[in-house]
């Protein structure tokens, strides 16, 4: 159950945080993993960890906001493993800034990685999956910020809301090719991105008050959700945004 044996998965932004958690869970489920981020060194370090779990894994440096990089990412994956079954568009960045101080360069950075990266990853993964003619699975990492507005995070919310909307449209368009497209909306997850917010005990306690389960999620919590969506057991699931947030949005 929930096996990915024989499957090949690209996971962007998988050298740390949520992406690393997804890569770890996928590796344990038997998938061959392509670890990618702009840092080849960090990717190689993650690959070494995955190989200790018995997984086949390679590292590829990639800036998901650049189409040429994404094209090469898919091409190198197919050259190494012969196919692509699962594309996880996970790479993302967080900008916290007052709305009236947001500059064009901020928008270019935030939307370029978070939103364009998902669009480009889906585009080139779908091209390859169509060629293979046996379907495929695309998973996009959104956020509960796609569902709830947060002060100081206007551009982040915009990018994640765009991912959720794009996921629905892409799922409808790619369904005739048996390519499933889903999103995951994580809540508060312990990672390098959230480390500054969670470092102070008082601040951490304030965040926990908004989470009914009173725990901070771990990267592998998202990994387990992604594993279900990538598995054959989810063959009838497409176009959804799976919320994994300890119950936070249920009370918002």
Residue 236 annotated among the catalytic residues of the structure: no
Residue 166 pairs in a beta bridge with: none
How many other C-beta atoms lie within 10 A of the C-beta of residue 99?
10
Q: Which residues of 31-46 are buried (b: 16+ CB within 10 A; e: fewer)?
A: bbbbbbbbeeebbeeb
* DSSP run (H or E) holding 122: helix 117-132
Strand pairing of 241-244 and 32-37?
unpaired
Strand, coil or helix: what is 235?
A: coil
Catalytic residue among 156, 177, 228, 236: 156
CA–CA distance, 21 with 15 (Å, rounded to integer): 9
Active site residues: 156
């Amino acid at each position: 159950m929930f096996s990915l044996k024989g499957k090949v998965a690209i996971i962007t932004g998988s050298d740390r945080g949520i992406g690393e958690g997804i890569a770890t869970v996928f590796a344990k489920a038997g998938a061959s993993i392509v670890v990618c981020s702009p840092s080849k060194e960090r990717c190689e370090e993650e690959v070494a960890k995955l190989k200790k779990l018995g997984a086949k894994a390679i590292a590829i440096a990639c800036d998901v906001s650049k189409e040429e990089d994404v094209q090469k990412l898919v091409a190198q994956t197919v050259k190494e493993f012969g196919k692509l079954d699962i594309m996880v568009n996970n790479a993302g960045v967080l900008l916290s800034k007052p709305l009236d101080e947001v500059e064009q360069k901020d928008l270019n950075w935030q939307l370029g990685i978070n939103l364009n990266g998902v669009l480009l990853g889906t585009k080139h993964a779908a091209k390859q999956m169509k060629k293979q003619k046996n379907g495929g699975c695309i998973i996009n990492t959104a956020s509960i910020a796609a569902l709830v507005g947060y002060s100081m995070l206007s551009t982040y919310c915009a990018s994640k809301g765009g991912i959720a909307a794009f996921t629905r449209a892409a799922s409808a368009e790619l369904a005739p090719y048996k390519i499933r497209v889903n999103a995951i909306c994580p809540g508060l997850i312990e990672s390098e991105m959230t480390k500054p917010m969670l470092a102070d005990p008082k601040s951490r306690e304030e965040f926990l008050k908004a989470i009914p389960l009173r725990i901070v999620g771990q990267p592998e919590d998202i990994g387990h959700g992604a594993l279900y969506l990538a598995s054959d057991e989810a063959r009838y699931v497409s176009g959804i945004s799976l919320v994994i947030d300890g119950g936070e949005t249920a009370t918002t």
